[in-house]
Amino acid sequence: MSTIPAPIDATQTPAWKALQEHHDRLVEEGISLKGWFAADPERVEKLTFEAGDLHIDLSRDLITDETVRLLCDLGRAVGVEERRDAMFSGAHINTTEDRAVLHTALRRPKEQAGTLIVDGQDVVADVHEVLDRMYAFADKVRSGAWRGVSGKKIEHVVSVGIGGSDLGPVMVYEALKPYADAGIDCRYISNIDPNDAAEKLAGLDPETTLVIIVSKTFTTLETLTNAREVRTWMLDALERAGAIDGSAESRAEAIRKHFVAVSTALDLVEEFGIDPENAFGFWNWVGGRYSVDSAVGLSLIVALGPERFQEFLGGFRAIDEYFQKTPLEENVVALMGLMNVWYVNFFGAESHAVLPYNQYLHRFPAYLQQLTMESNGKGVRWDGTPVTSATGEIFWGEPGTNGQHAFYQLIHQGTRMVPADFIAFVNTPHPVRDGEQDVHELFLGNFLAQTKALAFGKTADEVRAEGTPEEIVPARVFTGNRPTTSIFGDTLTPFALGELIALYEHITFVQGTVWGIDSYDQWGVELGKQLAKQITPAFHDDAALTEQDPATQALIRYYRAHRR
């Protein structure tokens, strides 16, 4: 039985009512970022924050001094600070699974060993025991001391995992490619669609390939199916190449040299045939979507090296400490979470765009979709009662400038409010000039242009002044007052990326707390898994087919008629 107090219904607090009145008043007066900037010369300064080394500007969000004050009142009324402290200290805030939520312990420094004992476990000491083993393993692979069964150095890593065991590592690997300095390339297989493995394994030399099977539970259908497929591919190819003979011993030796695993279920790893020496554990208090900084990041340590990974953890830690220690009014991490509540519950925003102006972050929106939507897409609260307001907006996005030529039209002139986070960095690892023009500045100019257009728009008079025929004036008007947050950093380093991830982890936490939901379970993915097991036999079995509903039966009949 959980000892976590029932959630406070945010909608019944005086702060919520005050926010509703404040919202209605702003709408009645007419929301005008232009007007707000004109009336308050200090607006930029007041609404710009330094969190770690991220520079975050909320001045073009639809908030005033009063909004900030009321949002903080709401945060305090629902106990954001108390719940934050409970999470960091290892309380079982994941009530439906009766678990602690301690991804923040993954980045605590070694010196803190002994200071966080949860359920009888010295959490920090355990974290560093695994980190040290991973660092030693990665050093061996990177230096060539670890060799494949035929004595060749490892040049490729194939990581097999899905969801939280895939999206984080892929996103970080892509984001930090300029730091991959050991000549080891990583490929990630996730989908049970055999096309994924076929494409990722194409052209790989098994003698120089290391496979990492990543699964928190080690029971996930996709991952285990792909793991078996990759094992067969590896053993057959090694045998064809003469690197092993067909004997059980040589096959076991090949698995020992070419397969490692990451899981919380080390017994199942061993059952799969992987040497426990080559297995790296983590704990049930790390949610899958919060696990990229656990052993789940093993491929990253191999590709980037232990030092870069330590810097990455340092970035998370900087934001953790900031989030823990900064008073709410100045705490941009908490404010961003509260502001998302403001947009969802008071303006009716249904989605939130995340638009990185950095091609290396091209998988960041996909990663955030699991982090935010699997966490906050819930309809009941942590005590089992229904939610009392809308929850879980849809997160989506693509890198700029690509998105500008695709979907920004809707953000600029559509009928829906889409709050958007723009993420950009001052420096690039690839400085390029086009004649006199610095191309990175041309790129960043677009980030600044888009946020400016969204905030301040273009009036009918401005459009007319350009000589536009009257009948097309309305189509060329931009209303402005479309909210954006700008996150600017120095360089996309491992440290900065750790900061960005921790920022969104805590934003998600704050929103979940206001809504009273357990952001750390994911029961919503279970039903589909169960039904897939029940339906799959119906492709061939008539008795199983007749048990299905009419729509499913009809699709299976279509399948049967067309299968070659």
Ligand X SMILES: O=P(O)(O)OC[C@H]1O[C@H](O)[C@H](O)[C@@H](O)[C@@H]1O
Provide the mask over 70-109, with x wherever binding to ligand X is found by CB under 6 A and - wherever it is not. ----------------------------------------
Residue from the set 164, 206, 397, 457 that interacts with ligand X by CB under 6 A: 164
DSSP strands (E only) in 107-219 = 117-118, 121-122, 156-160, 185-189, 209-214
List CB contacts of 471: < 8 A, sequence separation 6 or more: none
One of 216, 258, 412, 482 touching ligand X (CB under 6 A) = 216
Question: Running DSSP on this structure, what letter comes out for residue 90?
Answer: T
Q: Shortest distance, CB of residue 297 to ligand X, whole angstroms?
A: 13
**CA 308 from centre of chain:** 19
Q: Which stretch binds ligand X (CB under 6 A): 158-166, 334-342, 386-394, 530-538?
A: 158-166
Nearer to ligand X, 59 or 223 (CB): 223
Q: What part of residues 501-540 is at the interface with ligand X (CB under 6 A)?
A: 522, 525
Type of residue found at 270: E
What is the C-alpha to C-alpha distance for residues 226 and 59, in angstroms, rounded to an integer?
A: 47
Per the listing, tokens 């996909």 go with 366
Q: Which of 325, 405, 430, 562 is catalytic?
A: 405
Q: Which lies closer to ligand X via its Cβ, residue 289 or residue 381?
A: 289
285 and 118 Cβ atoms separated by less than 8 Å: yes
Which part of the chain contacts ligand X (CB under 6 A), choosing from 37-45, 67-75, 81-89, 215-223? 215-223
Q: Pick from 209, 215, 451, 486 the residue near ligand X by CB under 6 A.
A: 215
Nearest 10 degrees: CA dihedral of 367, 368, 374, 375?
130
Which residues, at least 6 apart from 76, have a Cβ–Cβ distance to it below 8 Å?
15, 328
287 versus 356: smaller Cβ distance to ligand X: 287
**Alpha helices per DSSP H over 159-220:** 167-175, 194-201
Taking the least distance from each CB to ligand X, the nearer of 215 and 493 is: 215
Residue from 89, 59, 86 nearest 332 by CA:
59
The CB-of-366 to ligand X minimum distance in angstroms stands at 13
- Return the range that interacts with ligand X (CB under 6 A); candidates 46-54, 210-218, 445-453, 513-521: 210-218
Query: Could you say which residues in the range 453-492 bind ligand X, by CB under 6 A?
Result: none
Rank residues 282 and 322 by Cβ distance to ligand X and give the closer one: 282
Nearest C-alpha neighbor of 323 from the set 27, 28, 84: 84
Of 509, 500, 498, whose CA–CA distance to 354 is shortest? Answer: 500
Which segments of 59-163 are extended strands (E)? 117-118, 121-122, 156-160
Q: Which residue's CB is nearer to ligand X, number 215 or number 358? A: 215
> Known catalytic residue: 200?
no
CB of 81 within 8 A of CB of 89?
no
Single out the residue of 57, 73, 293, 374 in contact with ligand X (rule: CB under 6 A): 374
Choices 18-26, 216-224, 337-345, 454-462 (CB under 6 A): range interacting with ligand X = 216-224
On whether the CB atoms of residues 251 and 185 are closer than 8 A, the answer is no
Q: How far is the CB of 371 from ligand X (least distance, A)?
A: 10
Segment 274 to 313, residues that bind ligand X, using CB under 6 A: 288-289
- Catalytic site includes residue 529: yes
In this structure, are residues 166 and 159 in contact, taking their beta carbons and an 8 Å threshold? yes
Q: CB nearer to ligand X: give 124 or 269.
A: 269
H-type alpha helices, 144-272: 167-175, 194-201, 221-240, 248-258, 266-271
Of 19 and 162, which CB lies nearer to ligand X in the complex structure?
A: 162
Under a CB-based contact definition with an 8 Å cutoff, are residues 308 and 175 in contact? no
Alpha helical stretches, state H, 144-247: 167-175, 194-201, 221-240
Judged by CB under 6 A, the number of residues near ligand X is 14
Nearer to ligand X, 142 or 216 (CB): 216
When binding is defined by CB under 6 A, the residue of 48, 89, 96, 217 that contacts ligand X is 217
Task: Give the one residue of 15, 141, 154, 162 binding ligand X; rule: CB under 6 A.
Answer: 162
Q: What secondary structure, in 3-state letters, does 428-472 show?
A: CCCCCEECCEEHHHHHHHHHHHHHHHHHHCECHHHHHHCCCCHHH
Least distance from ligand X to the Cβ atom of residue 374, Å: 6
Q: What does the block give as tokens for 2?
A: 């959980």
Stretch that binds ligand X, among 149-157, 212-220, 326-334, 481-489 (CB under 6 A): 212-220
Smallest separation, CB 521 to ligand X (Å): 9
**300 vs 332, beta carbon nearer ligand X:** 300
Nearer to ligand X, 201 or 262 (CB): 262
Phi-psi region of 495 (alpha: psi -120 to 50; beta: other; left: phi over 0): alpha
Quick check: is 140 catalytic? Answer: no
Interface region with ligand X, contact rule CB under 6 A, candidates 139-147, 213-221, 276-284, 345-353: 213-221
How far apart, in whole angstroms, are the C-alpha atoms of residue 90 and residue 104? 10
Least Å distance, CB 530 to ligand X, is 12
**Calpha distance 427→525 (Å, rounded):** 40
Q: Among the candidate windows 95-103, 211-219, 235-243, 385-393, which touches ligand X by CB under 6 A?
A: 211-219
Active-site residue, selected from the candidate residues 374, 393, 499, 505? 374
State the minimum distance, in angstroms, from the CB of residue 379 to ligand X: 17
Interaction between residue 223 and ligand X (CB under 6 A): yes
CB 219 to ligand X: min, Å: 7
Per-residue burial over 146-172, b if 16 or more Cβ lie within 10 Å, else e, is bebbeeebbbbbbbbbbbbbbbbbbbb
Question: Annotated catalytic residue: which of 34, 452, 529, 540?
Answer: 529
9 forms bridges with which residues in the sheet? Answer: none
Task: Point out which span in 117-125, 209-217, 494-502, 510-518 binds ligand X (CB under 6 A).
Answer: 209-217
165 binds ligand X (CB under 6 A): yes
Give the residue numbers annotated as catalytic, written as ranges. 374, 405, 529
Q: Which residues bind ligand X (CB under 6 A)?
A: 162-165, 215-217, 220, 223, 288-289, 374, 522, 525
